[in-house]
Amino acid sequence: MDVFQNDLIIRLKNGKDKYLIAEQDKESVTKCRDGLTKNAQWTVEVNDHESLYLKSCYGKYLTASNMPSIPGIVAKNLRVIQTLPEKRNTSHLWLPVNQSDSRDPLTLSLKTLHGTYLQANSGPPPLGNLITHDLLRKDGPNPVNKKILWQIEVVDAPSDQWKQSESTMSKMIVGVKSLMNEIHKDKEKNKNLKDEKGTTKGLNPLHVL
Q: Indicate whether 103 and 63 sit together in one domain.
A: yes
pLDDT band at 9 (very low <50, low <70, confident <90, very high): very high
CB–CB of 106/150 below 8 Å?
no
Q: Indicate whether 14 and 108 sit together in one domain.
A: yes
Asked whether residue 209 is domain-assigned, the answer is no
Q: Indicate whether 168 and 197 sit together in one domain.
A: yes
Summarised one tens digit per residue, pLDDT across range 89-119 is 999 999 999 865 556 668 999 999 999 999 9
The radius of gyration computed from the CA coordinates of the chain, to the nearest angstrom, equals: 31
Number of domains forming the structure of the chain:
2
Q: Indicate whether 176 and 105 sit together in one domain.
A: no
pTM of the entire predicted model: 0.72
Q: Indicate whether 132 and 185 sit together in one domain.
A: no
Q: Indicate whether 112 and 171 sit together in one domain.
A: no
List the domain range (segments joined by +) for residue 192. 161-201
Summarised one tens digit per residue, pLDDT across range 13-52 is 999 999 999 999 999 999 999 999 999 999 999 999 999 9
CB–CB of 130/120 below 8 Å?
no
Q: Indicate whether 33 and 95 sit together in one domain.
A: yes
* DSSP three-state, residue 140: coil
Summarised one tens digit per residue, pLDDT across range 137-187 is 665 445 557 889 999 999 998 865 444 444 444 444 445 445 556 666 676
d(CA 1, CA 108): 11
83 beta partners: 61
Sign of the alpha-carbon dihedral angle for 192, 193, 196, 201: negative
Summarised one tens digit per residue, pLDDT across range 189-199 is 777 666 666 65
Q: Indicate whether 151 and 167 sit together in one domain.
A: no
> Considering only CA atoms, which of 50, 47, 37 is closest in space to residue 11?
37
CB–CB of 121/77 below 8 Å?
yes
Q: Indicate whether 121 and 59 sit together in one domain.
A: yes
d(CA 56, CA 38): 9
153 beta partners: 11
Asked whether residue 3 is domain-assigned, the answer is no
Q: Indicate whether 93 and 195 sit together in one domain.
A: no
pLDDT band at 70 (very low <50, low <70, confident <90, very high): confident
Q: Averaged over 122-126, what is the pLDDT? A: 75
Q: Indicate whether 118 and 148 sit together in one domain.
A: yes
Give the model's pLDDT for residue 101. 58
Asked whether residue 207 is domain-assigned, the answer is no
CATH number at residue 54: 2.80.10.50
Asked whether residue 1 is domain-assigned, the answer is no
pLDDT band at 136 (very low <50, low <70, confident <90, very high): confident
Share of the chain above pLDDT 90, in %: 51
